[in-house]
Amino acid sequence: MWWSHHPGFGCSHGSAAVRRSLASTTMTRPLQVGLGAVLVAVAALGLPWWSTPVSAVPLDELASWHASTLLGADLIGGVPALVLVLLAVAALATGLLAGAGRLPSGVHAAVLAAAGGAAVAAGASALPGAGPWLTAAGGALAVLSTLTAVTPGRRVALALVAALPVPLVLALLGAGPQPRTAGPFVRLAPLTYTGSLRSGAVALAGPAGTALAVPLAGTVGYAGPGGLATVDPDGRVVVRAATDGRDPGRDPYRISGLWDGHVVYWTGPDTVTVRALDRDTSAQVTGVSLVTRPGPDGSVWLRPTADPDAMRRLDLRTAHGTVDAATLPRPASSPARSEVDPFAMLPVEGGLLALGGLDGQWRLRLYGPATPVDLPACVTSGGRLAADADGVWFTQGRADGSRLVHLAPDGTRTTVDARLPGQVESLALGAGGTLGLLVGPVGGGAGLWSLPAPETHLTPAPCA
């Protein structure tokens, strides 16, 4: 044995009991290297691996917003973090007992492997871009370490235990986002329906049917129950503002949209709040049963609970204090109740665009004037809307796949002759005219997509 030549380990101390004790001590030495790594890994759960950038989000209870720092313990959950700490303590205790010859080293090896494997799995779940392969690799190393630790192959055990952090290092260095394109469309980030929205991740997160594409920070961004986020050039999520997670009693749409730094979101079952992100101002509207997305004209339309047959208009630029929805200005015309999906309506200069089955036919109609105006859009299905001074963008279903259609102010109709990457749940126009698309799970392309310079992809598509 190698320890027989170590100073102090001469043959004069070679009784059978002492040899068994020393054998137990040296059997655990390779494992104690891993024990230190496990303790460090558990301690690292308290470090801010990924932090939400500090935004100018006013912090008050009414607004229900906060700029948050995401800690490892927050990401994996309190109970798993407690289990990790207990496993680390157990590994330390069994290591001391095994070193004293009072516990078989195999027991210590099993506890240490469990703690190491759990630490790797927790790291895999907390690190952005970590896939199932990372957890599998860490678990396999932990199992192999256990098996070899109870055999004479101590050097192999040491190598395997020391290799436990390797998957985490690989994740940090190489597990980055994978770009994806579909014709002229570019996916900025995929969308998952589990987990939490956090900076540094390679995927946006939020329950199905709850997210929107919004104009944000000079580009197209994401708005969901977890907050507001953009995607950086490397494909990493940047959380701009995080919600506190409280349920406002409005499922599934918590955030209704964003316009020029003004966030419109529900703070109660019938209460909508408008908050300016760049200054400490807000307004509340009570008695609301429905609210549209903010339009390019800086307004939203609301349906009061006290008068559900007629909608009201709220100018975000002048909104302040607390008002009842029924007291807001009433346009001369508005869609009837349940006639149009609220996310197929969009306020614009001069009225409210609505895309849906109106009067038994598919139409794109402008409400607001005393007599609603049907636009020459040749609508054949429902869809989603975005608009600016250059016209209206909307989605339309076709037998060979849905398309984007553009209707100019002069009535010219054109289309992007490329299939959409999936079922579009919302559209938004960012700075520079970039079109953002939030695609749902139908079709397999779930995520935030963009179409840069959309006008360069248009082809004539006159009404047949």
Going residue by residue through the chain (464 aa), what tens digit of pLDDT does each one get? 333 333 443 444 444 443 444 344 444 455 555 555 555 555 554 444 434 343 333 323 323 333 333 334 445 555 666 777 777 778 778 877 877 778 887 787 777 777 766 766 665 555 544 444 444 555 555 555 555 555 545 555 555 555 555 555 554 444 455 668 889 999 999 998 777 777 777 788 877 777 899 988 788 999 887 788 888 887 888 878 776 555 555 544 478 888 888 889 888 889 998 988 766 668 999 999 999 999 999 999 999 999 998 999 999 999 989 999 999 999 999 998 877 788 889 999 999 999 988 777 888 999 999 999 999 888 888 889 999 888 999 998 876 678 999 999 999 999 998 999 988 999 999 877 899 999 988 767 889 999 999 999 999 988 86
pLDDT at 346: 94
Give all strands of the β-sheet with 288-291 in edge-to-edge order: 288-291, 299-304, 312-315
**Which residue type is seen at 239?**
V
Q: Which two tokens stand for residue 201?
A: 């991740």
Question: Are residues 126 and 104 in contact, defined by beta-carbon separation less than 8 angstroms?
Answer: no
Where do the domains of the chain lie? 2-54+71-174, 180-259+335-460
- The predicted structure's pLDDT at residue 444: 73
Instruction: Strand 403-407: give its sheet, edge to edge.
Output: 385-388, 391-396, 403-407, 413-416, 458-460
Q: Are strands 281-286 and 321-324 parallel, antiparallel or unpaired?
A: parallel
Show the beta-strand stretches assigned E in 72-182: 180-182
Gap between the Cα atoms of 259 and 277, Å rounded: 10
Global confidence as pTM: 0.69
Whole-number Å distance between alpha carbons of 352 and 299: 10
- Residue 210's pLDDT is 78
Whole-angstrom distance, CA of residue 25 vs CA of residue 34: 15
CB 429 within 8 A of CB 436: yes
Could you report how far apart the first and last alpha carbons of the chain are, in Å? 90
The CA distance from 64 to 74, in Å, is 19
User: Could you check whether the bond before residue 252 is cis, i.e. omega within 30 degrees of 0?
Assistant: yes
Note the pLDDT of residue 124: 56
Residues in contact with 464: Cβ distance below 8 Å, sequence separation at least 6, in sequence order: 378
Please give the DSSP secondary-structure letter assigned to residue 294.
Answer: P
Structure tokens at 28: 């655990």
Separation of alpha carbons 329 and 313, rounded Å: 6
CA-based nearest residue to 275, from 262, 286, 290, 285: 262
H helices of 210-320, in order, are: none
Q: Name beta bridge partners: 286.
A: 271, 324
